[in-house]
Structure 1
Amino acid sequence: MRTAQIIGTGGYQPGDPIDNATIEKLVGPLPDDVLNGLTIEQRFWMIDPRTGEHFDSNSGMAYKAAVAALAAAEVEPAEVDLMILATGTPDYTLPPSVNLVQEKLGLESCATLEIRSGGAGAAQALDIARLWIEQGNATTALVIGVEAISPAIAPVFLETEPDKIRMRDRIPLYMFGDGAGAIVVRAGEHGGLRRGATRAIGGLRKPGIWAIGGGTHAPLLQQQRSKKLVDLRVDVVGAGDFTPVMVSEALSHTLEAGQLAAADADWCLIPEGNAGWMLDSMRDAGVKTADWEALEGRIFDNLAMTGACGCAAVPLFLDNAWRNGMIQPGQRVALIGVEATKWMYGGIVCDWTAPTPSPATQSNESV
């Protein structure tokens, strides 16, 4: 039986880590309870925090993560016949970032898709790759999640004194980071990805996050006259209320689709799954389900060290866990991504087959 196996991952984050003390100098402090609830200690930006100057790009970070993943999988770029990229912050409206990465990899021809589902996108992309491979339409797929959020939030503090910045505008600076993660999926004969799950459950709810500007929602001349070309708005209260509901449904739906009991899962990746605000909100909302309780001690992410990085979160956190030897062949891993813009989730279960990478391929530094 033809299956789709994860055979390698790669991750990349630009520049030096930016700690909370640096953010405080830029935008002012947060109340201790809010800061502790975010559970984020550092993040990485593709811009210079002092000037806003770019020293990387969305497609550049995606390319670097892709190179790291291909090297870990011992796959040449020319072997890739399907590339799927998830991002909410592309270099341009058109052409798609996935095709810019294709060009950087030197690939004359391959099937390409781009997904704009935020944090849910990478898990959705893995399920699409699984289908293509199982049906014989592809042999080697490269799935990439990448986010360049810092350029959108830099106008909050550039040329503005910290004490002039509103509290609600400070929070995104403490939350978001940039980066990319990539996953190589190849046809095999056993193990690998199981059927995935995805749903948008906020069709009648207002967005939890809006990135307003640069699109066609209003005349471009009108947008140019706005104080900020891109306005990133985060409904902190709404996210606190509804994200736990979305995560709970995502977990149960993913396990059901993958025919895996929570007690039989070795690991479950949920970005922000261990964040203080999330756990408090789940308890208050009464949505810490039996599945969640059964997974106690086996839910992981790397949020504290990366910041919230949207589409990059699932592949970036997976890469960290695999390279650190946490995930081993024979284990069953559930990968879940959630997105608060319109309350979407994607999840997929994997019977892990890839051995821990050798020391020679452990590094995920800039290439």
Structure 2
Amino acid sequence: MTTTSATPIGTSAPRFARILGTGSYLPPKRLTNAELAAQLAKDGIETSDEWIVERTGIRARHFADAGVAASDLALPAARAALEAAGIAASEIDLIIVATSTPDMVFPSTACLLQHKLGIAGGAAFDVQAVCSGFVYALTVADSMIKTGAANKALVIGAEVFSRILDFKDRTTCVLFGDGAGAVVLGASATPGILASELHADGSHANILCVPGTVAGGQVLGDPLLKMDGQAVFKLAVGVLEKVARSVLAKAGRSDADIDWLIPHQANIRIMQGTAKKLKMPMDKLIVTVHEHGNTSAASIPLALDVAVRSGKIKSGDTVMLEGVGGGFTWGAVLLDF
């Protein structure tokens, strides 16, 4: 698969960033709701396929095997995006990995991925904004390309959320999955990323968090995910509509100009609620949550790659990406593909 190539840039021409290729990767282990329910039942935790689907729209998710790290998932996703873009890894001078489940405390997952790609020298760092992470990372990469700090960037969301789930809490452990999604961004004289906006409000930190840390060789606090689902739902729908409209205004576009909406794949109700507020028909909403679950920072690039490779999203389409996650963080990017 090959996407639109970057337009050559003259020395005095404006610089923009365009997506040149997409890629994704899911670990082989696929777990249906029924299979997960059977595992939870062994520990006395009751749930069912019907209960999960009714509340979330999720039917399955993928879990990484023991020993598989975020960079291991990011690597095949990155290679797929590079192949789609038709460029070599050696041309990449910026790598940003959005993740809340890094390989280690440091160095960054991006540095480890850079080494696995067999390259060195360009900037590489992680962004931690949980489920908004890919939108944050894409915005940073866009800014660096526009200013000339980078020419070709790999922007990746990669998560092994299965490692931080409390499998005694059926309200959270059924929601998440593992995976990675990637895009290659390149400098161009033709606008690709049209506008973006990022926000955060730390006063809501307690409604979605992993309240643990490492100190003195021990885990302090609780290293498992905690979430107030109702509070997250209420906040998410409101901020997603507001940030989408703000980004449209920045770009001089309207609701009617959006060909495809790719929100963070957390819960089908939140996604449908956002689409309705933007007056978008449901057949223009890209949905992968039923097969992937919530893959946090990986969910948007995973859904984007699925939509591109299936032929839904084509060159020239206008796409809205939206993320909302723990922090509390949220943001949106509007782009011409």
The alignment's TM-score, normalised by the length of structure 2, stands at 0.88
Contact 1:271 1:300 in 2 (8 A): no
Quote how far apart the aligned CAs of 1:269 are: 0.6
Match of 1:263 among 247, 256, 267: 256
Shift of 1:38: 0.7
Secondary structure of the equivalent of 2:174? Answer: helix
Secondary structure, aligned partner of 2:311: coil
Deviations, residues 295-350 of structure 1 (Å, cap 9, x unaligned): 553222311111100010111110000000100111111111111x2221121111
Residues in 2 aligned to 1:318 and 1:255: alpha-carbon distance in whole angstroms? 19
CA distance in 2, matches of 1:295, 1:131: 32
Does structure 1 conserve the Cα–Cα contact (< 8 Å) formed by 2:266 and 2:289? Answer: no
The 8 Å contact of residues 182 and 316 in structure 1, kept in 2 or not, is answered as yes
Query: Are the counterparts in 2 of residues 274 and 301 from structure 1 also a CA contact under 8 Å?
Result: no
Question: What is the RMSD of the two structures over their aligned residues, measured on CA atoms?
Answer: 2.2
Alignment of 1:5 with 2:22, yes or no, is no
Identity %: 29
Change (3 A) 1:266 1:274: farther
Asked whether 1:298 is paired with 2:284, we answer: yes
Partner of 2:176: 176
Instruction: Tell me the distance in 2 between the aligned counterparts of 1:239 and 1:215.
Output: 26
Gaps of at least 5 residues in structure 1 are 48-53, 158-164, 353-367
Q: CA deviation at 1:62?
A: 0.9
Q: Once structures 1 and 2 are overlaid, which stretch shifts more, 207-216 or 178-187?
A: 207-216
CA 1:333 to 1:25, structure 2 compared with 1: closer, same or farther past 3 Å?
same
Which residue in the other structure is 2:58 paired with? Answer: 40
C-alpha separation in 2, matches of 1:310 and 1:277: 14
Closer/same/farther in 2, CA of residues 145 and 270 from structure 1, 3 Å limit: same
Do structure 1's residue 94 and structure 2's residue 106 form an aligned pair?
A: yes
Q: Which segment is superposed worse, 298-307 or 26-35?
A: 26-35
In the alignment, does 2:332 pair up with 1:351? no
Which runs of no fewer than 5 residues in structure 2 stay unpaired? 1-13
CA–CA distance in structure 1, aligned partners of residues 184 and 276 of structure 2: 33
Look up the match of 2:121.
Answer: 109
Aligned match of 1:205: 204
Structure 2 matches for 1:135-150, cutoff 5 A? 135-150=147-162
2:62 and 2:84 map into 1 onto residues whose CA distance is 23
Q: Could you tell me which residue of structure 1 aligns to residue 315 of structure 2?
A: 329
Matches within 5 A, 1:65-104: 65-104=77-116
**Residues 273 and 149 (structure 1), Cα distance of their counterparts in 2 relative to 1, 3 Å cut:** closer
Asked if the contact 1:248/1:288 (under 8 Å) is kept, the reply is no
Paired residues of 2:203 and 2:328 also in contact (CA < 8 A): no
One-letter amino acid of the structure 2 residue matched with residue 20 of structure 1: N
CA contact under 8 A between 2:74 and 2:113: conserved in structure 1?
yes
Equivalent residue runs for 1:149-228 within 5 Å: 149-153=161-165, 156-157=166-167, 165=168, 169-200=169-200, 202-216=201-215, 221=218, 223=220
Q: Any idea what SS the aligned residue of 1:103 has?
A: helix
Give the drift of 1:129. Answer: 1.5
User: For 1:69 and 1:331, how far apart are their aligned partners in 2?
Assistant: 19
**Separation in 2 of the partners of 1:254 and 1:24?**
40
Q: Report if the CA contact (8 A) 1:274-1:299 is conserved.
A: no
Instruction: Name the counterpart of 1:361.
Output: none
Separation in structure 2 between the aligned mates of residue 59 and residue 334 of structure 1, nearest angstrom: 27
How far residue 259 of structure 1 moved from its aligned partner, in angstroms, is: 2.6
The alpha carbon displacement at 1:206 in A equals 4.2
**Superposition pairs of residues 280-299 of structure 1, within 5 angstroms:** 282=273, 289=277, 292-294=278-280, 296-299=282-285
How far apart are the structure 2 equivalents of 1:222 and 1:110? 33
Please name the residue that 1:30 is paired with: 47
Any conservation in 2 of the 1:144–1:315 contact (CA below 8 Å)? yes
What SS does the corresponding residue of 1:195 show, helix, strand or coil?
strand
How far the C-alpha of 1:55 sits from its partner, in A, is 4.7
The offset of 1:274, in angstroms, is 6.9
Q: Is the 8 A contact 2:93 2:122 kept in 1?
A: yes
Structure 1 length normalisation: TM-score?
0.81
1:273 touches 1:301 (CA, 8 Å); kept in 2?
no
* Structure with more strand by fraction: 2
1:220 to partner: Cα distance: 5.3
Shift of 1:264: 1.1
Q: Tell me the number of residue pairs that the alignment of Structure 1 and Structure 2 aligns.
A: 319
CA distance in 2, matches of 1:171, 1:302: 20
Number of the residue aligned with 2:68: 56
Matched-pair contact (CA < 8 Å) for 1:273–1:299: no
Residue 362 of structure 1 corresponds to which residue in structure 2? Answer: none
* Secondary structure, counterpart of 2:107 in structure 1: coil
CA distance in 2, matches of 1:63, 1:10: 10
Residue identity matched to 1:346: G
Q: Compared with structure 1, are the counterparts of its residues 222 and 246 closer, same or farther at alpha carbon in structure 2 (3 Å cutoff)?
A: same
Over residues 343-365 of structure 1, what are the superposed CA-to-partner deviations in whole Å (9 max), with x where a residue is unaligned?
A: 2112111111xxxxxxxxxxxxx
